[in-house]
Chain A
Amino acid sequence: MDSDILVVDDSAAIRKILQRVLRQTGMPIKDIHEAGDGQQALDVLKAQKVNLVLTDINMPNMDGLQLLAALKASQEWASIPVVMITTEGGEARVAEAVRLGAVGYVRKPFTADQIKEKLAGVL
């Protein structure tokens, strides 16, 4: 089954790069949706069913960890796998993301192969 993926990053540049990289992976993807922060991501999820969320951490309004916590606290969205993609590679941040339920973590800068490898077991 082809998947719907939600990419959440306040940088339009990174969203564009991820669109390209995700298409390059060859994974079965139906649509890639975008949001500029956690709050926008929740708005997208209210209107659109997605199979995977890729999110930055450091964003205005609602950051990636807050988004992750909100998803895991929701009956409707708790089962959606969330992968963090961020420059924040500190152990404390990684541990916090894992504790909140993230299934993976990719550090920027990333390659298409790294994204593919990280998502291989998720989708």
Chain B
Amino acid sequence: MDVPNLIANSIRHSVIEAFTTMLNVSLEPGEVLDGSAVPEASFQEPNEGVVSFIGLAGAWVGTGTIMCSANLACRICSQMLMTEAKAVDEEVLDAIAELTNIVIGSVKNDLEQHLGQLGLSIPSVIFGRNFKTKNAGHTEWVIERFRWDNEYFLVKLCLAPNEKQPVGNPIGQTCPIEVKF
């Protein structure tokens, strides 16, 4: 089973569906990037903007994330809520969190058909400057880059078999995220 390919296809489908349905925006299919060769450094505004995380747990464990610029986060929020978001505020962060929940939740539903039941955590969102995200585990991310007009955003997911029997909350065992400011 080619799990990275399953994840990439599911991310593509889920992002397009979420944007079509919730934002009334048609996106082109995303471009799959090589997680080892193209880290966040190639992404526009790499060390600032909005980053959201959501954990997956079960027989497989991992993390899904969406990264975008502050400007694009405001645009997504404005389109989603039909308001005018001029700066990143609580409403913008909430909209990005919900978009992450919808996209990664949809990927989770797709993957469950192949990998068994998975749980989804509540998303967290970070907005700031001069930060760096790092995957402290050994699992490579599946990274897909989408473009909305002239701006790009990344959707990333890492997932690996849960080799340990889950005890308590296993989220983050495989793909712990370290965010440094």
**Which A residues fall within an 8 A CB radius of B?**
10-14, 16-17, 20, 58-60, 86-90, 92, 107-111
Contacts and interface: CB of A to CB of B under 8 A. Distances in A.
A58 B122 contact: yes
B91 A13 contact: yes
A13 B95 contact: yes
Contacts of B80: 13, 17
Nearest to B80: A13
B112 to A, nearest CB: 5
Given A13-B77, A14-B98, A89-B106, 13 more contacts: A11-B94, A11-B97, A13-B80, A17-B80, A87-B101, A87-B106, A87-B109, A90-B118, A92-B117, A108-B22, A108-B105, A109-B21, A109-B102
B17 interface: yes
B141 to A, nearest CB: 21
A113 to B, nearest CB: 10
Given A16-B81, A88-B120, A11 B101 contact: yes
A12 B109 contact: no
A24 to B, nearest CB: 11
A17 B81 contact: yes
B122 A10 contact: yes
Interface string B35-71: 0000000000000000000000000000000000000
A88 B81 contact: no
A20 B24 CA distance: 14
B130 to A, nearest CB: 27
B33 interface: no
B109 A108 contact: no
Contacts, number: 60
A69 to B, nearest CB: 19
Contacts of B122: 10, 58-60
B117 A13 contact: no
Nearest to B19: A109
The 9 closest A-B pairs by CB, nearest first: A87-B105, A109-B21, A11-B98, A89-B109, A13-B95, A13-B98, A109-B22, A13-B94, A109-B18
A108 B102 contact: yes
A110 B81 CA distance: 14
Contacts of B167: none
Contacts of A92: 117
B111 to A, nearest CB: 10
Contacts of B1: none
A17 B120 CA distance: 22
23 contacts: A10-B122, A11-B94, A11-B98, A12-B90, A13-B80, A13-B81, A13-B95, A58-B120, A58-B122, A86-B105, A87-B105, A88-B120, A89-B105, A89-B106, A89-B109, A90-B112, A90-B117, A90-B118, A92-B117, A108-B101, A108-B102, A108-B106, A109-B18
